[in-house]
């Protein structure tokens, strides 16, 4: 029988979700048991691991983000190399679960975003938005023998959306609550929020990127330590510094923070050139290392809090904020968010007994499951798409 029909007919599927985010720390792989579809989806996380990139691979991925260091040859090659690494991650997670590829029905792979242009560019007579994820799903299907769904974002972009954020759809399925309004705040390279009003329908879900998450902090830490540190572990450096309010206020005037949702951003906006300009301003103000790290940590915290005050609180009273992503381990950042939002209960996924790191990989397993069911899996209100679509390209 056609393998796709066989998978389609199953009531329960074993699905692997693969994700590499904007921080480029590694490939998250989650093995999930999924029953049902849409609002009836039930999941059980069976296995999870983050497979770190080695430093050389990470550097080569970073080269692709910058037009000055990227080439078509490097992109062409890395698309296939990452396909191999994603396939390897899938096979390792299967082995860790003491299973074989034959037991697994499906892989949902996000890939690696290397460029994202959510603003409309007028070209010829077309109005073009674009986004680009690599990590060839055909290679994953070939190496694992498992039907692989990849390249999710582009269909939403084709329908007029930003192709992001996509996790709000799975947040809606998994976290909606009849009594409480919940804000799910992810702090990865970029920070994004999903607001699930109490007893919401899918049309009530609000979601957008609030701005930088760890991206600016990581880059500043790399520069002030001469590359010795790659991130501010547990927020240690920031905890020793003092926030410079002059620089913070200047940074918060950025037009991205003023723009109303739906909106998304990425490394093209808050990456290396943004930090070049920021370092120049910091030098003029004579800021020491720890004060600078404290100030950019406050930038993430305050831009999150301001997003709530400007765009969410006028519409909904938030009962609980649940933080996920690597930023939830930065104690200084979490402390600052709590200080800037004193009226809210702020907790982390770990406080709730969940695995914060696995959240996005699990989301791509669910999005793949929806695709196989022919179920719409974007939220037009969050991405700005003109209508719901089924995202994901299927490699048999
Ligand atoms: N113990 C820790 N202390 C401080 N920061 C941490 C810690 N652990 C991870 N991080 C931060 O989290 C980042 C990785 O976060 P995460 O894996 O959620 O990002 P991502 O998924 O790549 O990004 P995105 O969600 O934007 O795609 C690291 O680059 C680092 O800055
Ligand atoms: C284009 C792209 O890769 N965007 C990512 C990025 O990382 C966080 C934020 O910006 C979010 O909008 C999105 O990822 C998550 C997984 C999402 O789509 O929900």
Instruction: Kindly report, residue by residue over 188-237, the tens digit of the pLDDT.
Output: 999 999 999 999 999 999 999 999 999 999 999 999 999 999 999 999 99
The annotation status of 25 as a binding-site residue, yes or no, is yes
Q: Identify whether 149 is preceded by a cis peptide bond (ω within 30 of 0).
A: no
The predicted pLDDT at position 352 comes to 83
Q: How far, in Å, CA of 213 to CA of 215, rounded?
A: 6
CA of 266 to the centre of ligand 1 (A): 14
* CATH among 3.30.420.40, 3.30.750.24, 3.90.800.10, 3.20.10.10 for 180-317: 3.30.420.40
Mean pLDDT of the chain: 96
Question: Quick check: 56 pLDDT over 80?
Answer: yes
Which residue owns the Cα nearest ligand 2 atom 10?
A: 190
Question: Mutate which of 112, 186, 211, 214 to test ligand 1's pocket (most atoms within 8 Å of Cβ)?
Answer: 214
The rounded percent of the chain whose pLDDT value lies above 70 is 100
**Sequence-ordered alpha helix ranges (H) in the chain:** 3-9, 55-65, 72-96, 137-144, 153-158, 167-175, 215-224, 236-240, 245-252, 255-258, 267-270, 272-284, 289-307, 331-340, 359-372, 380-383
ipTM (interface pTM): 0.98
CB 78 within 8 A of CB 40: no
The rounded percent of the chain whose pLDDT value lies above 90 is 97
Which ligand is in closest contact with the Cα of 50? 1
pLDDT digits (tens, 9 = 90+) for 137-155: 999 999 999 999 999 999 9
Report domain 1-165+356-395's class: alpha beta
Asked if the domains 1-165+356-395 and 180-317 are classified in one and the same CATH topology, the answer is yes
Question: Mutate which of 231, 234, 299, 358 to test ligand 1's pocket (most atoms within 8 Å of Cβ)?
Answer: 231
Q: Greatest CA separation found in the chain? A: 69
Q: How far, in Å, CA of 196 to CA of 82, rounded?
A: 34
pLDDT digits (tens, 9 = 90+) for 90-140: 999 999 999 999 999 999 999 999 999 999 999 999 999 999 999 999 999
Question: Quick check: 1 pLDDT over 70?
Answer: no
Which residue owns the Cα nearest ligand 1 atom 17?
A: 326
**Domain ranges within the chain, ordered by starting residue:** 1-165+356-395, 180-317
Q: How far, in Å, CA of 290 to CA of 251, rounded?
A: 17
Question: What are the Cα distances from residue 208, in Å, to 250, 257, 260, 271, 395?
Answer: 22, 11, 9, 19, 30
Q: How far, in Å, CA of 318 to CA of 312, rounded?
A: 8
CA of 293 to the centre of ligand 1 (A): 16
Question: What are the Cα distances from residue 126, in Å, to 91, 117, 335?
Answer: 42, 15, 46
Q: How far, in Å, CA of 336 to CA of 276, rounded?
A: 25
The predicted pLDDT at position 59 comes to 96
Grade residue 291 by pLDDT with cuts at 50, 70 and 90. Answer: very high
164 CB near ligand 2 (under 6 Å): yes
pLDDT digits (tens, 9 = 90+) for 319-365: 999 999 999 999 999 999 999 999 999 999 888 888 889 999 999 99
């Amino acid at each position: 029988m056609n393998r796709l029909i066989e998978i389609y007919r199953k009531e329960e599927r074993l699905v692997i979700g693969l994700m590499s985010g904007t921080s480029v720390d590694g490939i998250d792989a989650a093995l999930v048991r999924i029953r049902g579809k849409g609002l009836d989806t039930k999941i059980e996380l069976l296995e999870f691991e983050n497979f770190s990139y080695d430093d050389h691979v990470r550097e080569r991925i970073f080269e692709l983000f910058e037009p000055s260091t990227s080439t078509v040859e490097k992109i062409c090659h890395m698309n296939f190399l990452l396909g191999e690494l994603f396939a390897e991650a899938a096979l390792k997670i299967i082995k860790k679960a003491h299973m074989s590829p034959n037991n697994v029905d499906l892989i949902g792979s996000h890939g690696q975003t290397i460029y994202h242009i959510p603003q409309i560019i007028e070209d010829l007579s077309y109005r073009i938005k674009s986004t680009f994820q690599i990590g060839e799903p055909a290679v994953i299907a070939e190496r694992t023998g498992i039907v692989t769904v990849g390249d999710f974002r582009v269909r939403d972009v084709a329908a007029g959306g930003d192709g992001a954020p996509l996790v709000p759809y799975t947040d809606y399925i998994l976290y909606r609550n009849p009594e409480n309004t919940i804000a799910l705040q992810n702090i990865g390279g970029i920070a994004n929020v999903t607001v699930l009003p109490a007893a919401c329908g899918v049309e009530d879900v609000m979601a957008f990127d609030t701005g930088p998450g760890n991206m600016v902090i990581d880059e500043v830490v790399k520069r002030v330590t001469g590359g010795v540190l790659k991130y501010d572990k547990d927020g240690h450096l920031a905890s020793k510094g003092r926030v410079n309010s002059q620089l913070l206020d200047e940074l918060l005037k950025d037009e991205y923070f003023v723009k109303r949702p739906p909106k998304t951003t990425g490394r093209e906006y808050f990456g290396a050139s943004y930090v070049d300009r920021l370092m120049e301003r910091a030098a003029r103000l004579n800021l020491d290392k720890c004060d600078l790290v404290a100030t950019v940590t406050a930038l993430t915290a305050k831009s999150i809090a301001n997003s709530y005050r400007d765009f969410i609180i006028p519409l909904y009273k938030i009962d609980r904020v649940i933080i996920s992503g690597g930023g939830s381990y930065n104690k200084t950042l979490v402390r600052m968010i709590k200080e800037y939002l004193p009226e809210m209960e702020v907790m982390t996924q770990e406080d709730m007994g969940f695995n914060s790191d696995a959240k996005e990989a699990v989301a791509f397993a669910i999005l793949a499951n929806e695709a196989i069911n022919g179920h719409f899996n974007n939220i037009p209100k969050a991405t700005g798409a003109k209508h719901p679509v089924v995202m994901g390209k299927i490699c048999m």
